[in-house]
Each structure stands twice: as structure tokens, then as C-alpha cells.
Structure 1
Amino acid sequence: MATLGLALGAALALVGFVIAFFLWRRKGAAHGLRALSWALVPLAAGLLGLMHSVIVFVNSLFTIVATMVFNPIVWAGTALAGLAVLLYFVSGFMKARGMGVKQRGAKGSSGGGGTPEAGGAAAPTQVSGGQSASGAGAGSSGGGDDMDFGDIEALLKKRGIE
């Protein structure tokens, strides 16, 4: 059995030497030397007596694949594994774009009760015109825009930006 492994290793190395020769001529010495190093691996495995283990491994691999191809339960498992991978990547895509993610400030308007004021009321912020931010646009915008700015103000205060 050792001579079979050595003969197989030598045959694979010979094929690798031919490939390395053509790579050397076409792409240069660096590519040729890399291919030569890989071509020596089967010969070394044959000389070390490891080629028998490689033959058993490849035979086992082919047996497993051959039995899997004709088994419908294995195909169902493969489909489920593919679905799991697809769902994982879709969820990552959705998270990256903020789709289907609950906002942190959606629980309550106080932002978790972390405000230093009593009762969770927000202190008015000074705007450049000398009036407070909570009363800055109360009569001028018509009502619908105040809610949007209030949410933004709450978020900025939560982050410590005033």
C-alpha cells in the first residue's frame, strides 16, 4: 500500500511540475515557484506515507456526497440551511438601513427618565433671539411642526447637546 501512495504522490507531483513550468513561463518566477511548492506537497505526502490517509479521506468524502445526493431528507436540510443564511443576510441588510428596527425613544417621551429635572419635565433651552426653544415656534408654525421639533429637542437633550 505504501508503494501505491508513493506512485500516486509522484504522479500528482509530475502534473504539478508541468503546471509550474507553464506558469513560470507565462507569469514569471514568483508564480512558478509558488506552483512548484504546491507540486511538491503530494510527493512529500507519498514519501511520508500519508497518501494512504489522503486516499481514505477522499474515498469517504465521495461516499458521503454520493449518499447525500439521493436522500430527500438531506435536500430538505440543505434548503433549510440555505434559508437560514438568506434570512441572516436579509436581516443584516435591513438593520443597516434602519428598516424593521424599533426606535429607542419610542417607549415614552421622557427618554427613559434620565432627566435631572423633577418630574421628567424638560427645561427650556435659550435660542439666539433670547426666547426659549419651547416657546420659539409656538404661534408661528401652525401646530404640526412643533411635535417634530419636540422629538428632535428631546433627542438632542438626551445626548447632552443643547
Structure 2
Amino acid sequence: METFNAIAWLPLCAGATIAGLVLAFLAFRRRGAAAGLRVTAWALLPMAAYLTDALQSLWTIGTTAVRFVTGLVFNPSVWAGVALAGLSAVLFVVSGVMRGRKLAGARKKQGGESPQAGAAATATRPAQQATAAAKPQPAVSPKKTSSADDDFSDIEELLKRRGIS
């Protein structure tokens, strides 16, 4: 908090508020009352923060966030931890691929697929055939000439429905 107290906050906040009020006056004249009121609202915030002692809280939050981020970015031990986490993820993926190959090789040596895999494949085939037969086939329109004409025909149909032709 020594840095916070070393700054002369009253003149700084008052100057920011005065500059904002000058800009608000210009906004009133050039862009109207709504823009002028909006700029006035923003201009009053620095003095309000100073007078309510919220400025010190905002300073503390800002310095804590900056200290946290710089501690992550510039700390070599943090980057070593990130590297180890990445290596761990790569090793998990590689071991999973190796395990899958090992299991596939064991199935081939046993004489084909496992009984569970074969039963699951035969159970899904009739279900897929039934859903394919249940789906109605879309009607084929007789006038299909080219993709460009097809795009424009949709637009023409929409315009005709709206009474624009």
C-alpha cells in the first residue's frame, strides 16, 4: 500500500473528472443530450471512486491480478509444471494407443473378433436396416438443370409467395 499512498490521487481524479466534463460539454453540443449525459456519467466516476475510498480497493485488486499473472508467466517452475503436465498427457495418449494395438493383436491370435464385438455388430445391423426402411424417400423434382438455376429457383419461389415478381 506504500505505492498507493505515494500517488497524489485527489489532483489526478479531479483532473480526470474536469477533462471528462469538458468532453461531455462538447458531446452535448455535437451529438446531443444522450451522448452528453453518457460522457458526464463516465466523467464523474474518478471523483466518486476517490471520495468513497473505492479507489484503494480497485488499486489492490489490480495489483493482485497483475502480480498473479506475472508470477505465472515469469516463473520457471510454473513452466516446468506445464511441461510436465503436457508430457503426462502425451504419455496417456501413447499408452492408450499401445494398449489398443496389443488388445487387437491378442484378438487376431485367438482367431478373429471377440464374441462380444461380433454380437454387437450383428445386433446393430437389423436396427440400421429397419431405420433405413422407415425413412421416406424424398420426392425427386423433375426440373433439375444446374446448381446455379437451382439456387435462383428457390429465390424466385420465395418472391412469388410474397407477391413480388
When normalised by structure 1's length, the TM-score is 0.40
Which structure exhibits the higher relative contact order, with contacts defined as CA atoms closer than 8 Å and separated by 6 or more residues? 1
Q: TM-score, normalising length from structure 2?
A: 0.39
Higher helix share: 2
